[in-house]
Every structure is written in C-alpha cells, then in structure tokens.
Chain A
C-alpha cells in the first residue's frame, strides 16, 4: 500500500468532503505523483482558493496556503517569484479557477510561470450548494440553473492551451492511474502546467441532474472518455459530448522566473537600457 501517512496530517481527519466526493481521489493521486517525483515536502507549497476542492491543503503536510476565492494563482505568483526554489502546486475548483479566478489563470499561463495547477472540475459550485459554474455543461442543472444552464461552458484545458500553458492534461477520477502520471509530468515540467480532472460531486451535480451516485458518475466518465490519440481520428460529431483525456499539450517555452532572472543579470551588468 502507498504510504499516505507520510504525507497526510492525520490529526486533521475526518475531512469535510461528502462520501463519494472526487476531492479525495485527486488528493491521493497528487500524493502518489509527488512521491514519484521525489520532490521533498519542504520544497512544496500547496496553494488553494476557496471551495470544497480548495480544502485539500489542510490535510497534507506541505507548506500550505488556503487563500481567498479565485486568487490562489496570484498568491502563488508572489510565493514563486519571491522564492523560485519552491515547487508550487495550486489546487482549485472549476469556479475558483475559471470564474472568479479566470483572470489570474490565463495570465499565469501567458507568463508561463512555473507552477502546476490541478483543477477539480465537478461542473458545479460544491461548497456553496450546487450553483451553476462556467464549467456546467449546457442544459445541465445547478441550484441557480433550475431549468438547465443556457450558457455554453468553458473548456478549461482548451483555455489553458490558448492562454499559453506549456503542459496540459485531462483525466477523470475514474482514470486515477493515468492521473498520477499526468500530475507527475506536470510537476516535472518547467513552466505552467494544468491538470484538469473531472470529479464527481454526488451531493449536488449528480443529484440535481438525476445521475445517481458517485459510482454512476465514475461509470459515466468511463463510458464517455476517449483517449486524445483516438480522438484525433474522430469527427467533430463523434467527439460531441465526450471527454477527451490524455496529455493534450506539451511544448517548450521560456519560463517567467528564469526570464526575470536573466533580466536582473542584464540590468546589473549594465546591458539593459531604457
């Protein structure tokens, strides 16, 4: 068995998550990936905003920072620039990352600031009682979308790619083994990496949309996911409504902290003028 005790703050349990919630599955995958990547605990700063998913930092033994709703990436920006040696992981809900925190999300990706962002995408605002989020699929219900959402949803991974992220992968809580690998790859990538994970919220999303239990949600992920390689050969219509999983994007681009370091060196040598 994986030695989770090595990383958990056991005295902080029981956790606040509902039975069947995807948050725990993602937290465990993250710990396995950290173990594999051999990054020491003291070098990791785990930063979050507000939401069910954002409660993860309280349970794990790293430098943990639970901030304000939507601002985790901005707090993390300060930590990283002040102490570039820190390995930054941000955990965030779909609302936290792309609704209220959307601006920081796209700009950190644009800067290609070295951090790994794990978005727990449960299609809903869990913490506040199941309201619709920008990730709620069109037609699906939330407590503020009783007739079904009429808004098109954001493709979170697509948004990160478009904004300039250098590593982007999508997985689901059903595909936990792959998830470990993606998180590990994200951690080892120098630059802005995003791991989007579809996560069940049985309490609100599954209930309001009459999907059933968490197990039904996981089954739904299993039946509707297509590996990215296979998706490449499929038509747009065939892919409609499917979850494309895998490493979606992996490129090289200058990283912001390194670029800043170079600027400082240039200025100090007197080579930069204005």
Chain B
C-alpha cells in the first residue's frame, strides 16, 4: 500500500473542498453574492484568491455575478460563482448566455429547499431539473453531483475540465449536507490530478472565425483583447460571431451547440456501480442521498437481499443508455431523492420500469432505513 502523507489528510466540509479544488483547477476569478448554504465558498475564496494573485469580487447580485464571471472567462481566466436556489434562479438568463456564446464557466449550486426562499438552512435536491432546463431554449449544459467531500473535490476539478474542454457552463450541484458536513478527505497526489485548458486558436487574427465549425464541433477560443477583435453576441450568430437570420445558419448553430455534448456523452458521463452484477434491485442515487443508499444496500446484502447501486456523478447528460442496459437484468429500481421525483422520471424513461420513489421534502436527509424499508418491501 502507498503511504499517505499526513498533510494530505484533512477534515473539511464540502464547501471548503470545493473552494480548494477550484484553486487547484486553476480558477483565479470568483464573483458571487452571499447566500446560505453556499457563502463559505465565497468567504474562503475572498481569503485565498488574493494570495494566489487571483480576483475575488462580491457583486451586487447574482445576475451581476454570473455576468462578471463570463466576462472574466472571455478574457481568458477560469472563473466561477457559487450560490443557492434563489440566486441560482437569478443566474439563469446569463447561464444561457454562456451556453450560447460558448464561454466556459463553473456555477456551484449548494441546494436548499425551494421554491422561493424556501428552506435556507436545510438540504434539498430539487434544483436537478432547473440545472438542466433553468434557462430558456435548447441549450447544452453539463451538471455534476458529488456525494462526499472527496467527491466534491474531484468533481469541482472535473467541472472546470469539462467546462474548458467543451466550452459550456458546468453546474456543480451540491446540497446543504455535503456543503456543511465535516469529513475526512485524503487529497489526491498532484500527479494524479488532470487539468484541462480550453483549446486556443493559433490562427492568424485576420482569418480567425470565433465560431468556426471545426470537426470536433468545439470552436477554438481566443482570449478577448489578445489581438483578435471579434464579436460575441447572445443573438443567434454565424461562424463569424455576428448575428444572423439565415435559417440554415440558425439551424446549424443550434444543432452544433447541442451535438457538442451529445457526441461526447461517452467521455462525459460518469457513474459508479456497486454490487450490481447479480442484483435484483438497483438503487439509482446521486448527491447526498447516495450516502444513505450505500448504507442501505450494505444492510440488504447482509440479509441476503440482492441489491446494488448505480451512483450517478454526471446528472446531465443523463446516463440513459447505461441504465437501459442494466434494465435488461434488473427490473426493480428505487430512486431516493430529496425532491418529489425529478430523477425518478428519467430513470423510468431509461429503464421502462415503474420506479419506486423514496422522497423527502421536509428538509430532512433520506435515511438508510427509509431506503432499506423500500428494498425489503420490493424483495418480498
């Protein structure tokens, strides 16, 4: 066994791990507006970023925070913001702008109960659909949902990598539990960490087309102010970056924007399966509900019930195909989530099975017992 350096072991919260990981990923620009339960991320970064020579700014609202990080990213800096429900709602218009203009950025949503002010200090997973469809229009987006402090560290870094690689906004969905729980974390070794940067153009500024359809479907980036003098607009645009009303060009843009994610789903989608090989019952879980799901299947196995878990890390794009495959030998699906069944619906689409939902919307965490009870009920 490899020896672990003592200083690589720490006790920290998900919010702390998220802030640390962002720095490791190369994020040097944060703009945000305080909101429970995400504020610690801003507080930590207000301390850390000046030390790293980065920029921290507390904006006047979340509309401005989102706009500001897009501006900074356009100038070439990896940038992010962090918020919760009400602030996440305010960010939606500009998340769409980042999608449309293909400017990479990371948005952390530490979920609390909603709608409206809802439950400021209690957890929820009810922003799952908003994270996919919160902004108007067909648009590409990637959403990741870690369940532990270590996963938060890893997935914050991956969020930046995905944003840079595909030039999309990436949303990290945490929740109040992961954000605030204190957990032991063993940091990965430096050489284990992969950092990806957006691909920048080497083209002559005179011939550069900011939205040129290249064979990867991901146009090459030029930092604003680096001699390229191009136009960026949230209006439907052609390869030159200027507005267009030509139906052919409009169609081409929307299809490429969405294809850019669809064709790379194999590379993007990540999940973890445990005890699924011989399973008769599959729990599909994500975020902090996955924590309880692991406990529940352990108990089930101890009692001889064949239960396994499918933990989703990338909620969007959703792993439809993978779940369809599993439904060839598993017929019972249980989906625990702190909402009224947002992902359960996707699971039933993917599997064609009636999904058993375990839902809580009272601000409490779904307990292992609650999941275990459903497993027992299904197994008889």
Contact = CB atoms under 8 A, between A and B. Distances in A.
Q: Do A and B come from one complex?
A: yes
Interface of A: 12, 41-43, 45, 47, 57-58, 61-68, 70-71, 74-83, 85-86, 103-104, 107, 260, 263-264, 267-268, 272, 274
Contacts of B59: 74, 77, 107
Place the interface of chain B in its size category. Answer: 35 or more
A265 to B, nearest CB: 9
A48 to B, nearest CB: 9
B79 interface: yes
Contact of B235 (A42, A66, A85, A268): A66
User: Which of A12, A264, A268 has its CB near the most chain B CB atoms (within 10 A)?
Assistant: A264
B57 A63 contact: no
A83 B68 contact: no
Choose among B64, B223, B235 the residue with the greatest number of A CB atoms under 10 Å from its CB.
B64
B234 A42 contact: no
Nearest to B69: A78
Interface in B13-69: 29, 31, 47, 50-51, 53, 55, 57, 59-61, 63-65, 67-69
A64 B74 CA distance: 11
A76 B71 contact: yes
Contacts of B69: 78
Contact of A85 (B57, B61, B225): B225
A267 B234 contact: no
Contact of B55 (A61, A62, A260, A274): A260
Contact of B225 (A57, A63, A274): A63
B74 A68 contact: no
Contacts of B97: 67-68
Contacts of A58: 231, 233, 242-243
16 contacts: A45-B224, A45-B225, A65-B74, A66-B232, A68-B94, A74-B64, A74-B65, A74-B67, A75-B67, A77-B57, A77-B67, A78-B31, A82-B77, A86-B75, A267-B50, A272-B50
B29 to A, nearest CB: 6
- Candidate in A47, A58, A71 with the most chain B CB atoms within 10 angstroms: A71
Please provide the 7 A-B residue pairs with the shortest distance between their CB atoms, ordered closest to farther. A78-B71, A74-B67, A82-B75, A78-B72, A74-B64, A78-B68, A82-B72
A222 B232 CA distance: 37
B332 interface: no
